[in-house]
Amino acid sequence: MSNEDIVKTGTTTIGLKIKDGVILASDQRATMGNLIAHSDVKKVYSLSDNLGMTIAGVVGDAQLMVRYMRSEISIYSMKRGSQMSVSAAATLVGNLMRRGFYLGLIVGGYDSTGAHVFSIDGAGGYIEDNYTSIGSGSTFALGSLESSYKQDMSKKEAIDVAITALNSSRKRDNYSGDGMLISFIGPKGYEEIPQDQIKIRCAELGFIYPS
């Protein structure tokens, strides 16, 4: 199978550490070479009540990684009687990446030490940061984030920042587009932001919701 036949999430994924938690966001487009293969792809996943992950890369590898991480985190929690920390989850994902996954990932979550966001590269290296973006549209998203990110942002403010960054990338990157997924992870757990709320905020910000 050639690279042109592999379905990839070309993509823009975003992670933000904010005042009371973490925002994870992405577009929803998947491509196969220059073809838009799917326009409703899930790229933001819950791994547990306190952990989430965004995926960019080969779709099959991404689905396998999510299944494996959910299983390992569940086993860890049962054995320890406590939640896995965000740092431990990022370490585990980094170790798995060295087995040959073609992915770029963001792991974020909330634990006893607060909110954390880690970017994880294809070689398994992981770096904690206040905000990050991975994928083909990340250059455009980062430009937007650099001008609008504030560490003490509220959840509502951070959702607007994520929407604005995703809008910037989809306008410039052919491999990003077709919808937005946004999740929040805080002291009360993992929460997916409803699509109707995202569409309302897009309209209020003056953006046309991508379709």
Domains of the chain and CATH, by start? 3-205 (3.60.20.10)
Q: How many residues does the chain have?
A: 211
Reference 40, options 174, 178, 166, 137; nearest CA is 178
Average pLDDT of the residues of the chain: 88
Q: What is the mean pLDDT of residues 52-72?
A: 92
Q: What is the structure's pLDDT at 8?
A: 47
Mind listing the pLDDT tens digit for each residue in 115-161? 999 999 888 899 999 999 998 888 889 999 999 999 899 999 999 99
Q: What is the mean pLDDT of residues 43-63?
A: 92
Residue with tokens 């409803």, as numbered in its chain: 194
Q: What is the mean pLDDT of residues 156-168?
A: 94
Residue 55 has pLDDT above 80, yes or no: yes
- Give the Cα separation of 176 and 137 in Å (integer): 6
Is 91 one of the annotated active-site residues of the chain?
A: no
Given 11, 13, 54, 132, the catalytic residue = 11
Q: What is the mean pLDDT of residues 4-9?
A: 44
Query: Cβ neighbours of residue 112 under 8 Å, at least 6 residues apart?
Result: 85
CB 22, CB 109: distance < 8 Å: yes
User: Rounded to two decimals, what is the model's pTM?
Assistant: 0.91
Mind listing the pLDDT tens digit for each residue in 78-100? 999 999 999 999 999 999 998 88
Q: What kind and span of H or E run contains 64? A: helix 59-80
